[in-house]
Structure 1
Amino acid sequence: MAGYHITEGQFGDDPTRILSSDDGSARAEIALRGATLLSLTLPTAQGPESVLGGYNDPADFTALTGARSAILAPYSNRLAGGQYTFDGATHAFAGRDNDGNSLHGLVMDAAWYPVRETADDNSSILELGTDQLLAGDAPGYPFKLALKARFTLSREGLQLDLIATNQGTVSAPVGLGWHPYLETRGHDIRDAHLTLPYHQGVVTDERLIPLAGAASVTDLSGTESDFSGEGRTIDGQAIDRCFVGSAQPGWISSRLHDPATHLTLELAQSHGVVQVYTGHSLPHRQYDGLAIEPNEFMPDAFNRPELANAIRLGPGRERTLSARIRILPDPT
């Protein structure tokens, strides 16, 4: 039985931690910048398999192209106009995309530091923390939020537990998420088979902001955008959509199957919605890995009245979003 260990590494100018099994069959490299998972290799019967679409090189990482494996907090995805109102006060973020929206939170470029590093016969565990939001002085977010990202590598795969704690004296709006890209051996995912847990999709405007009220959700059953049940081949679709619905208790599973190699990757999450992005609009990386993003809420959650109670995290309260990546057994 292989044991596990943690070593220090470097990706360009950025220090990393490398979690790995002693036999080399499982390996994950995580940058302290952004608590970013840079690469992930998991064991199969045919040998170690790379399953994560990471950054091409340090320059690509510096640019954060595609927000690959970004930790999304205190909100995920888009925020309309880069602003929101919470408990009667309106707040505005400095960053904007071409449509004037804020995107992907405030910590994907933050400095994180090791809180815990342990390894034994069964797993390697790396827990990182960041003080980026702890002072309550972040532009657009005057709340004191402590964040931890705990990565566990074991024979079951890799698990991320993203933990938010409100250290302030007032309630704070919080919506957690993660932005990993799963990749098949051939990299191009257009021929891959995708299975999602939900048959409802979020309807957005031209800025990719969900419509108001009930108009924001539609039933996709029977359409080419329905990946629920047995799923279907992506078949060259350009997808940038949030999928929602009511989940059964337990892990919520999304799966990507490569028919050429018979490899099936699973990204499971503790709760929330699933954002899927085929990377079709990325420069030089179109369809190179599929972003299956476990998020707590649909885009623009801070501006949706029906989510006002769900996003609220009271003083001293903690919330955790968990996600795991693993290779499923080949049924053949």
Structure 2
Amino acid sequence: MVAIEKGGACLVLAPEVGGAVAAFTVGGRHVLRPMGAGAVDALLTASFPLVPFCNRIPNGQFVSDGRTVVLPPNLQGHPHPLHGQGWRAPWTVESAEGGVAVLAFDHVPGDWPWSYRAEQAFELRETGFRVTLTVINTGEEVMPAGLGFHPYFPARPGERLTAFNDGVWLIDADVLPTVRHEGAWGPDWAAGAPVAGHALIDHCYTGWNQRAVLSAPGQPDTVITASADCAWLHIYVPPGEGYYCVEPCASRPNPFGEGETGMMALRPGERRSIWMEIATG
């Protein structure tokens, strides 16, 4: 692990566990859910990158530029591979000093038949941090690319989430998007709603304006902002687990499905970047 500090803020990174954030504290208070001791799975960390696609690909099969690709499952007991390769691989530390750290991951073609380099640049501030996620096509063919972030927040009593959106993708039993519902469905995040007290929420919201606020009585707000092309906000609230995820994404679940999904075609040498900031009062 590697840690960077600035003022009362501390950001701990776990490059060996999917290039994840292990902890982020301000004044000793955990703003993100801390990574469990001895954890070796990115799902147990504070935050991890989604590269080069977000969420699930149905049965791992898709067609890109006339080429059929089939990816194996990467989550035990689940047939639909998700979140790309970065979260299941170790990253290297390129630098870590002066409140700034850079991690990198180089993918060698395999089931995902394109080579790419992914980089995360972390910039720590006294009350927050920004992470910029970049993917670079290092191969000789056009590569599809989508990016996102998967931060975990500790559940606080009475917490509410406010995040503008204009609709939501409803899901089936396999958590795959089925149809887009216009307007509010379930908790009205656009107006601000309690996070707890619902059945499973694992939904992608559309029309997000790149700002979300988690507020709890008597505690500082947590503010999540992101770059303009993060037009989707994925919200995951597993009942009774003591945490939830508010995920800025530049592509949506089923990224090779019909309609606008946010996936881009990168020519050899081209890159795509997004950023996320998490700050607290």
Residue aligning to 1:191: 158
Structure 1 segment 8-47 matched on structure 2, within 5 A = 16-21=1-6, 23=7, 25-33=8-16, 34-43=18-27
Residue aligning to 1:274: 233
Of 263, 284, 289, the match for 2:220? 263
Seen in structure 2, the aligned counterparts of structure 1 residues 309 and 254 have a Cα distance that, compared at 3 Å, is closer
**Secondary structure at 2:121 match in 1:** strand
Residue aligning to 1:3: none
Whether contact under 8 Å (2:187, 2:194) holds in the other structure is no
**RMSD of the TM alignment (CA)?**
2.0
Whether contact under 8 Å (1:42, 1:50) holds in the other structure is yes
Which whole-Å deviations, capped at 9, do the CAs of 1:38-63 have from their partners, x for residues lacking one?
Answer: 000124xxxx42111122211xx224
Whether contact under 8 Å (2:4, 2:96) holds in the other structure is no
Of 194, 198, 202, the match for 1:240? 202
Seen in structure 2, the aligned counterparts of structure 1 residues 174 and 109 have a Cα distance that, compared at 3 Å, is same
Of 121, 133, 137, the match for 1:162? 133
Amino acid at match of 1:27: C
Determine whether 1:89 maps to 2:51.
no
Residue aligning to 1:129: 104
**Secondary structure at 2:40 match in 1:** helix
* Distance apart, 1:155 and its partner CA: 2.3
CA distance in 2 between partners of 1:246 and 1:224 (Å): 16
Amino acid at match of 1:296: A
Runs of 4+ in 1 over 6 A off after TM superposition: none
CA distance in 2 between partners of 1:235 and 1:50 (Å): 19
Seen in structure 2, the aligned counterparts of structure 1 residues 157 and 68 have a Cα distance that, compared at 3 Å, is closer
Amino acid at match of 2:142: S
* Distance apart, 1:167 and its partner CA: 1.5
Seen in structure 2, the aligned counterparts of structure 1 residues 287 and 307 have a Cα distance that, compared at 3 Å, is same
* Distance apart, 1:202 and its partner CA: 0.8
Amino acid at match of 1:41: T
Structure 1 segment 310-321 matched on structure 2, within 5 A = 310-321=263-274
Amino acid at match of 2:183: L
* Distance apart, 1:220 and its partner CA: 3.2
Which whole-Å deviations, capped at 9, do the CAs of 1:255-293 have from their partners, x for residues lacking one?
Answer: 11112x23210111113211111133xxxxx33222111
Structure 2 length-normalised TM: 0.90
Larger Rg belongs to: 1
Determine whether 1:73 maps to 2:56.
no
Residue aligning to 1:200: 167
* Distance apart, 1:96 and its partner CA: 4.8
Greater percentage in helix: 1
**Secondary structure at 1:263 match in 2:** coil
Residue aligning to 1:291: 245
Residue aligning to 1:52: 32
Percentage identity across aligned positions? 22
CA distance in 2 between partners of 1:77 and 1:189 (Å): 26
CA distance in 2 between partners of 1:20 and 1:309 (Å): 34
**Secondary structure at 1:181 match in 2:** strand
Greater percentage in strand: 2
Seen in structure 2, the aligned counterparts of structure 1 residues 305 and 126 have a Cα distance that, compared at 3 Å, is same
**Secondary structure at 1:62 match in 2:** coil
* Distance apart, 1:100 and its partner CA: 1.4
Gaps of 5+ in 2: none
**Secondary structure at 1:27 match in 2:** strand
**Secondary structure at 2:204 match in 1:** strand
